[in-house]
């Protein structure tokens, strides 16, 4: 029988086996006490069951029957209500961390997953092998649509491949989304005319559930080349609604603002690996997973494990471009590429717009740092005859 497997690390005064049984009851047919209404047939068919206990790592693997998680129409919200529902608050359990989930192919195949994946995104902009470099326009909020597009244009002229809104820029009165989209589209066309390079830009369409598809479709009619969603703010169902909409044919860039509330505490919550699995299922083409070396927390093991999952085969679903972002500047490029490889989107906000020479110089410095890495030349040496990189080295060393 096919089952959904969820692996939990549990801390409790109960034995591991009893603690795991509490999860099984709460997350399937039972509750805290015996029920007169629970027929043995229901119990047999729908009970979650402990299938493995590991006392050393304090982990229990629990199998949920796929009948319990009906094939459709519940999707990821329903899946989460089983594998990551009430259990986190049970007073009998001190801490619980959802370490991993394994979904059978019958479930994964109900989802279309990413429309583009790494290869699709690379084909769109014509960059085959190297890491992509991008920028988050800064200040995070406050620029008008025209100013936002001007900053992006400068960064694109400087050599970046990709630009994006920040997670808290959506459709504010000072920067209406559709006007921003039109201005950015003009900047993209201008860069193409002047340099022959195709660049793309993620418009943040995060909004309420009943509006997100409409906002996304409007953004597309106004020239959007990529759409961004704050996955934990809008929810996985919002990503899926966009990914599985036949009219939406641009990549989806997935930001994970808020993830640390789930991922950071090693004793409790949900790992980034699980969140990444759901983002791929929902149809994200690019996902923030961390840098190891930048301003945000996240261990090397964690980031590499998540990126490996995103890049590898998963029941035929397209793969996902991992995004390294947060406190990135040109001097970190060698370490990021060394740790995370070439199938990566590397983004810098402050590390571009904080360059002493401004945005265009900052983008040039980022590109020069990448060129140095690709030619295996030490940054300091490459900086000798690359002014923008030299200025970046002086500022951030």
Q: Per the residue annotation, which of 115, 138, 277, 318 is the catalytic one? A: 138
Residue 290 interacting partner from ligand CAP, Mg ion, none (CB closer than 5 to 8 Å by kind): ligand CAP
Query: 3-class SS at 39?
Result: coil
DSSP state of 124: H
Query: One symbol per residue from 142 to 171: x for binding Mg ion (CB under 5 A), - otherwise; what is it?
Result: ------------------------xx----
DSSP string, 33-88: S--TT--HHHHHHH--EEEEEETTTTEEEEEEETTTS-SSS-HHHHHHHHHTSGGG
Of residues 84 and 328, the one with the C-beta less far from ligand CAP: 328
Which of the residues 344 through 363 are near ligand CAP (CB under 6 A)? 348-351
Of residues 23 and 336, the one with the C-beta less far from ligand CAP: 336
Query: One symbol per residue from 305 to 334: x for binding ligand CAP (CB under 6 A), - otherwise; what is it?
Result: --------------------xxxx------
Q: How far is the CB of 155 from ligand CAP (least distance, A)?
A: 12
Query: One symbol per residue from 140 to 179: x for binding ligand CAP (CB under 6 A), - otherwise; what is it?
Result: x-------------------------xx------------
Taking CB under 6 A as the rule, does residue 256 contact ligand CAP? yes
Q: Are 9 and 99 in contact (CB under 8 A)?
A: yes
Q: How far is the CB of 88 from ligand CAP (least distance, A)?
A: 22
Taking CB under 5 A as the rule, does residue 68 contact Mg ion? no
Of residues 30 and 134, the one with the C-beta less far from ligand CAP: 134
Of residues 80 and 231, the one with the C-beta less far from Mg ion: 231
Of residues 161 and 166, the one with the C-beta less far from Mg ion: 166
Q: How far is the CB of 149 from ligand CAP (least distance, A)?
A: 18
Q: In the 3-class helix/strand/coil scheme, how is 252-283 assigned residue by residue?
A: EEEECCCCHHHHCCCCCEECHHHHHHHHHHHC
CB-CB neighbours of 390 under 10 Å: 17
Q: Which two tokens stand for residue 89?
A: 């608050």
Is 386 tagged catalytic?
no
Q: What distance in Å separates the CA atoms of residue 332 and residue 342, rounded to the nearest whole number?
A: 14
Residue 330 interacting partner from ligand CAP, Mg ion, none (CB closer than 5 to 8 Å by kind): none
Strand ranges of the sheet holding 49-54, from the earlier edge strand across to the other edge: 49-54, 59-65, 3-12, 93-102, 269-270
- Where is 135: in which H helix or E strand? strand 132-136
Residue nearest to ligand CAP (CB): 349
Of residues 163 and 349, the one with the C-beta less far from ligand CAP: 349
Using the contact rule CB under 6 A, the part of the chain among 41-49, 134-142, 155-163, 181-189 near ligand CAP is 134-142
CA 320 → CA 204, 261, 344, 345, distances in Å? Answer: 18, 23, 10, 11
DSSP state of 131: P
Q: Are 323 and 287 in contact (CB under 8 A)?
A: yes
Dihedral sign computed on CA atoms, order 218, 224, 227, 228: negative
Nearest to 187 by CA among 157, 231, 226, 143: 157
Is 138 tagged catalytic?
yes
Residue 280 interacting partner from Mg ion, ligand CAP, none (CB closer than 5 to 8 Å by kind): none
Q: Are 285 and 252 in contact (CB under 8 A)?
A: yes
Q: What are phi and psi of 144, to 5 degrees?
A: -80, 165
Omega of the bond leading into 274 within 30 degrees of 0 (cis): no
Q: Per the residue annotation, which of 25, 255, 277, 367 is the catalytic one? A: 255
Residue nearest to Mg ion (CB): 166
Residue 224 interacting partner from ligand CAP, Mg ion, none (CB closer than 5 to 8 Å by kind): none
DSSP state of 66: T
Q: Which residues are catalytic?
A: 138, 255
The residues binding ligand CAP (CB under 6 A) are 136, 138, 140, 166-167, 256, 288, 290, 295-296, 325-328, 348-351
């Amino acid at each position: 029988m096919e089952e959904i497997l969820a692996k939990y690390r549990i801390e409790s005064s109960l034995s591991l086996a009893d603690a795991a049984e509490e999860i099984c009851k709460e997350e399937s047919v039972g509750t805290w006490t015996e029920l007169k209404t629970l027929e043995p047939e229901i119990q047999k068919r729908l009970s979650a069951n402990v299938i493995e206990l590991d006392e050393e790592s304090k982990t229990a693997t629990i199998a949920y029957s796929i009948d319990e998680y009906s094939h459709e129409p519940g999707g990821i919200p329903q899946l989460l209500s089983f594998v990551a529902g009430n259990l986190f608050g049970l007073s009998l359990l001190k801490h619980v961390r959802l370490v991993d989930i394994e979904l059978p192919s019958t479930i994964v195949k109900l989802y279309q997953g990413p429309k583009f994946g790494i290869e699709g995104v690379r084909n769109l902009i014509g960059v085959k092998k190297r890491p992509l470099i991008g920028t988050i326009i800064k200040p995070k909020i406050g620029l008008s649509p025209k100013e936002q597009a001007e900053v992006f244009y400068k960064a694109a002229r400087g050599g970046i491949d990709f630009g994006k809104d920040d997670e808290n820029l959506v459709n504010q009165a000072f920067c209406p989304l559709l006007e921003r989209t039109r201005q950015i589209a003009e900047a993209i066309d201008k860069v193409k005319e002047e340099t022959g390079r195709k660049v793309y830009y993620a418009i943040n369409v995060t909004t309420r559930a009943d509006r997100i598809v409409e906002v996304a479709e409007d953004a597309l009619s106004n020239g959007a080349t990529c759409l961004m969603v704050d996955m934990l703010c809008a929810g996985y169902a919002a990503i899926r609604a966009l990914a599985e909409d036949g009219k939406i044919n641009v990549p989806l860039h997935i930001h994970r603002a808020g993830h640390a509330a789930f991922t950071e505490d090693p004793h409790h919550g949900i790992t980034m690996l699980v969140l990444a699995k759901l983002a791929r299922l929902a149809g994200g083409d690019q996902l923030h997973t961390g840098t190891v070396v930048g301003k945000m927390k996240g261990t090397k093991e964690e980031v590499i494990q998540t990126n490996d999952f995103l890049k590898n085969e998963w029941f035929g679903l397209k793969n996902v471009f991992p995004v390294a972002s947060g406190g990135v500047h040109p001097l970190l490029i060698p370490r990021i590429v060394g740790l995370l490889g070439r199938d990566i989107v590397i983004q810098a906000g402050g590390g571009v717009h904080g360059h002493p020479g401004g945005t265009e110089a900052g983008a040039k410095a980022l590109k020069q740092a990448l060129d140095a890495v690709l030619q295996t030349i030490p940054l300091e040496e490459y900086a000798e005859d690359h002014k923008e990189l030299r200025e970046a080295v002086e500022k951030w060393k």
